[in-house]
Amino acid sequence: MKKLLCAAALALSLGCLSPSLAVQAAEAGTPQAGKAQADKPVKTQVRVTSVAVVNEGTDSIGARLATRLKETFNQSNLFVLNEKDEPKLQLLIMTQPEFPGRPHVGSVYSVCWVFKQGEGYLGFLLSREVGTLNMEEVDELVAKLVERTDGIAAKYENLWK
């Protein structure tokens, strides 16, 4: 009985000590106040998507939409505007006046996101959107389309590998 109680006490004391040993081991791995650590940046997986904007518009609002999209993609760190024969995400934009008699009032647009492997390959439709806009809504729509393009690029990033 005495041996059993001693074994139980020993097991209990080892159980209590092991968490403190784990804390000491973890603290040993952390930098100490007196020692300098080397400043090593950690490499991250950078995702830069190659995009192309193809506009088939017949109105000034649609032309402005396509131009603003190209400018935004060109200034972004997430995208590279590219017309080369390599895998890319194409934004196919089709616009026309909402009212043919009043072309500057509004525009109807269609955007298709297509993955294109290269010249001569059939494109793969990833997403699409249809809507109307006026001149004051162009910047807001551009921001929305760029955000959606980033989401599509993240969702289908395995196509670029």
Name 112's bridge partners: 92, 128
pLDDT at 149: 95
In the block, tokens 């999209």 appear at: 69
Q: Are 69 and 40 in contact (CB under 8 A)?
A: no
In the block, tokens 């024969």 appear at: 85
pLDDT at 57: 82
Rounded Cα–Cα distance for residues 98 and 61 (Å): 10
Give the closest residue to 49 by CA, choosing from 137, 122, 119, 146.
146
Question: Mean pLDDT in each 10-residue stretch from start to end of the chain (161 residues)?
Answer: 57 51 50 64 72 90 94 92 89 91 86 93 94 94 96 90 73
Say what the pTM is: 0.69
Q: What topology is assigned to 49-160 in CATH? A: Rossmann fold (3.40.50)
